[in-house]
Amino acid sequence: MTQRMRGGPLEGVRVVELTKVWAGPYVGKLLAFLGAEVIRIESLDSLDVTRTYGVKDINKAPGFQAVNPQKLSVQVDMKKPEGIKLVLDLLSKSDVVVENLRPGAVKRLGLGYDVVKASKPDIVFVSMGMYGSEGPLSYQTGYAPCFAALGGLSLLVGHENSPPGAMNIRYADSTFGAAAAFATVAALLHRRRTGEGQFIDVSAVESMTSMIGDTIMDYSLNDVVHECDGNLHAEMAPHGVYRCANGEWLSIAVSSEETWHSMSRLMGQTNNALFSTHAKRKANEAQLNQAVSAWTADRDVHELVELLQANGVAAAKSQSSVDLVADPHLWARGFYREVTDKTGQAKNIIGPSWKMSREAAITDAAPQLGEHNAYVFGELLGLSAEQQQQFTDSGITR
């Protein structure tokens, strides 16, 4: 049986997930990494699509496994009233429920906030939707790139004088999840201090706009509407990604005259009057970028990073997926770490973004479907072996 008291700041908190795909599961993952016991409720008839993408075996789906380590899984048929009753029984023994089903779906299931609150008055109920659960556009749905487009981000990413190119298509869900996780923990803190639970309504689109707050402020103060401008930055120049030998890319960001002085010395551009101040570098930025590109073009990216860093310049290789998975610093910090699945097989996962004293232990790979039925129905809900068997026989649990 899984060891459920793993340390960490949220040890003892029980979270139930009614979630699908990425954003909702990401909330549970963050809370599990902080020590909470996180139980996914799944139904064979309405599986999370990430359990089936690209594989026949729903217990080996790579996408699902990437986002659901250190969680428990129970399988309940939520189309049957007995199934909903079981879910409510579990929620009455839980602290948090997180849902990101389609707009209105939890209400139709009979698991809306009012119903859950009647079973568990101090529940923290977290509802996640593209536009939030209410309002004139809350009926609309979409995926991650829609959140970034609606939230004002996509228009800001792209080459100069080109149509917008948008953030990477994988960006948005996890940021939305992180915002929801923070609000959840704030509500748990309030509950611990006062005994009061509450309803939290999180908007994916607003979570995106929060990532460009200062850009929005420029419109509020000065009516300035920003558009994509390549890699330009009002306060830094050079500020770009430059091609090096072997088709590799080097990012450089110069934020002071002092660092430019160091860099211009390395480039042999100390006396170039075109670049002598930040204002001049901005005014002559095309020439500046040409000069930097000419300097990097035939050089090795790693040597350049070392040279620039040794001279106080912010520079980093633009890392491909090969570089990332091999990044020794990420391995050394425990960002990549090993867990074990039900069959005893070891598997690498992405760990938390943080290190902290008295961390929660992270030991388990993502659960098989219904792997923890016996624990949840037997130990938590106190059902006898016979009662559990009856539920299984009637297809309520499997």
Residues 358-397 that bind other proteins (CB under 8 A): 358
Q: Which is nearer to other proteins, 272 or 319 (CB)?
A: 319
- Is 297 a binder of other proteins (CB under 8 A)? no
For other proteins, the closer CB: 39 or 124: 124
Q: What is the DSSP letter of 397?
A: B
**HSE-CB for 366 with a 13 A CA cutoff:** 22
| Residue from 236, 380, 383, 396 in contact with other proteins (CB under 8 A) | 236
Q: Considering only residues 32 through 51, tell me which ones interact with other proteins, judged by CB under 8 A.
A: 34-35
Binding residue (CB under 8 A) for other proteins from 85, 93, 233, 342: 233
Q: Which one, 88 or 314, has the nearer CB to other proteins?
A: 314
Distance CA 168, CA 157 (A): 10
User: Does 264 sit near other proteins (CB under 8 A)?
Assistant: no
Among 336, 378, 390, 392, the residue binding other proteins under the rule CB under 8 A is: 336
* Minimum distance, C-beta of residue 203 to other proteins, in the bound complex (Å): 5
Contacts with 151 (C-beta within 8 Å, 6 or more apart), sequence order? 204, 205, 206, 207, 208, 209, 211, 212
Pick the closest to residue 5 from 388, 393, 358 (CA basis). 358
Residues 5, 36: Cα–Cα separation, whole Å: 8
DSSP calls for 210-234: GGGHHHHHHHHHH-------TT-BT
Residue 281 interacting with other proteins (CB under 8 A):
no
CB-based burial, 105-127: b 16+ in 10 Å, e otherwise: bbeebebbbeebbebbeebbbbb
Out of 274, 356, 361, 385, the only residue in the binding site for other proteins (CB under 8 A) is 356
Cα distance between residue 275 and residue 281, in whole Å: 5
Please pick, from the candidates 16, 291, 313, 396, the single residue that binds other proteins as defined by CB under 8 A.
313
Q: Say whether residue 213 binds other proteins (CB under 8 A).
A: yes
Query: Half-sphere exposure (CA, 13 Å, Cβ side) for 125?
Result: 21
Regarding 300 and contact with other proteins (CB under 8 A), the answer is: no
Judged by beta carbon, residue 76 or residue 116, the one nearer other proteins is 116
> Which residue of 93, 261, 347, 398 would you call a contact of other proteins, by CB under 8 A?
347
- Selected from 32, 39, 41, 67, the binder of other proteins by CB under 8 A is 67
**Least spacing, CB of residue 231 vs other proteins, in Å:** 5
Query: Nearest CA to 77 among 52, 55, 44?
Result: 44
Q: 318-333: b or e for each residue (b if 16 or more CB lie within 10 Å)?
A: eeeeeeeeeeeeeeee
> In this complex, which beta carbon is closest to other proteins, that of residue 84 or of residue 365?
365
- Of 249, 245, 244, 231, nearest to 288 by C-alpha is 231
Contacts (CB under 8 A) with other proteins, residues 108-137: 131-132, 134-137
Contact 164, 228 (CB under 8 A): yes
Which of 82, 143, 295, 368 touches other proteins (CB under 8 A)?
A: 143
Q: How far apart are alpha carbons 49 and 16 in whole angstroms?
A: 19
**Residues in 160-189 that interact with other proteins by CB under 8 A:** 163-171, 173-176, 178-183, 185-189
222 lies in the binding site for other proteins (CB under 8 A): yes
- CA triple 70-71-72, angle to 5 deg: 135
- In the bound complex, what is the minimum distance in angstroms from residue 307's beta carbon to other proteins? 10
Q: Identify which range of 76-84, 236-244, 273-281, 374-382 contacts other proteins by CB under 8 A.
A: 236-244
- State which of residues 45, 46, 104, 225 lies at the interface with other proteins (CB under 8 A): 225
Q: What DSSP character marks residue 31?
A: H
- Token digits for 357? 């004293």
Could you say which of 220, 279, 344, 386 contacts other proteins (CB under 8 A)? 220
- Out of 146, 266, 267, 374, the only residue in the binding site for other proteins (CB under 8 A) is 146
Q: Tell whether residue 221 is a contact of other proteins (CB under 8 A).
A: yes
